[in-house]
Copies of this chain bind each other. A is one copy, B any other.
Amino acid sequence: MQLITKRKEIFIYGLSMALLLVLLKWLEAHFIIFNYRLDIFVGAIAILFTVLGIWLALKLVKPKVETLIIEKEVYIDQPANKEINQKEIERLGLSKRELDVLNVMARGLSNEEIAGKLFVSLNTVKTHSSSIYLKLDVKRRTQAIEKAKRLNIIA
């Protein structure tokens, strides 16, 4: 939720508050309720503002987020001596998500399987794939995997 939206919410709340106080004034001036049913009136106010508070809180609170599960097969002797080359990743300009895709791709999964594993659509995986090939300057996924392993940007 954006800051602007939050402010709007607060504004609506303030407005409700103001309107209610005006209403209160009016009622007070006309001696309609207060003379004998004050407790009920205050109870109504309480309930109303409780609901308003709940609504406010639900609106203001940041919802979400989702879980990302990446299964990683690790072979005992191979990755021991090789560390991920962070500088190379930076140099190539690979984003986090692209690295995610690249890692799962290197396990031999299809785009559809990658999509399922990363909780995105097939189209998204394709988009990431394409930009990976572009950044790695390769033509195919097999080359991308080969080069990525060679440059130690994936395990």
Residues on A close to B: CB < 8 A? Answer: 13, 17, 20-21, 24-25, 28, 34, 38-39, 42-43, 45-58, 61-78, 80, 105-110, 138-147, 150
Contact = CB atoms under 8 A, between A and B. Distances in A.
B73 A72 contact: yes
A70 B68 CA distance: 7
B43 A34 contact: no
A97 to B, nearest CB: 13
B46 A39 contact: no
Contact of A54 (B53, B71, B110): B53
B66 A69 contact: no
Contacts of A49: 45-50, 53
